[in-house]
Amino acid sequence: MPNKYLLISILIITSVFLSGCIFDNNDNKQNQTIGPDFIPRTNLPPGFSFMGVHDTTMDIANITFNGFEGVYRYGRDDIYIVAIKNENPETLLTQYKADLRKQFKSDYNPFEEISINGHAATKIIDAIIVNGNQQMRYSIIWVNKGYLILVGSFADIITVESLASATGY
């Protein structure tokens, strides 16, 4: 008789544990995709590794905008794709350029108009000091389908263009 009670207790305990494993209502599933679908996760250009996507913010004209940031590894360095969804991303792009231009001398134009995936984009050329040496940094920024998209900043323009083209946008 005691074996019968023990067997019933084991069955009840096992069913309670199994129901917790089977009916997991956790909203933070590992395979959940966040961010816009044009932040590439697979089929990346050679040399790139996708590290993840997370929420981010970007300050433009002293206003903070929420968006997503895709993080990639290229060699030993990281490179990013930032995407800000907005009702008027063209205005954000104009203001971003105005903010950036204020950081440079009045005679220096850091912008060059280019084409990425068949649409207009702007290449940004900046110089930073690393270990006492000046190093060029490149970014590409454009607007497409309600998003302001920024790729960079990286020391090699070919690498930036390659990742920007991988967005398909």
Is the pLDDT assigned to residue 44 strictly greater than 50?
yes
Amino acid letter, 70:
G
Band (pLDDT 50/70/90 cuts) for residue 159 is very high
Structure tokens at 166: 């991988």
The mean of the pLDDT values for the chain is 84
The CA-based dihedral angle spanning residues 82, 84, 85, 86, taken in that order and rounded to the nearest 10 degrees: -150
Q: What is the model's pLDDT at position 36?
A: 82
Q: Average pLDDT for residues 7-30, to the nearest whole number?
A: 44
Question: How many C-beta atoms lie closer than 10 Å to residue 78's C-beta?
Answer: 12
* Domains of the chain and CATH, by start: 48-166 (3.40.1000)
pTM, full prediction: 0.78
Q: Convert the pLDDT of each residue in 1-13 to its tens digit.
A: 555 444 455 445 5
Tell me if residue 15 falls in helix, strand or coil: helix
Q: Are 102 and 110 in contact (CB under 8 A)?
A: no
Band (pLDDT 50/70/90 cuts) for residue 130 is confident
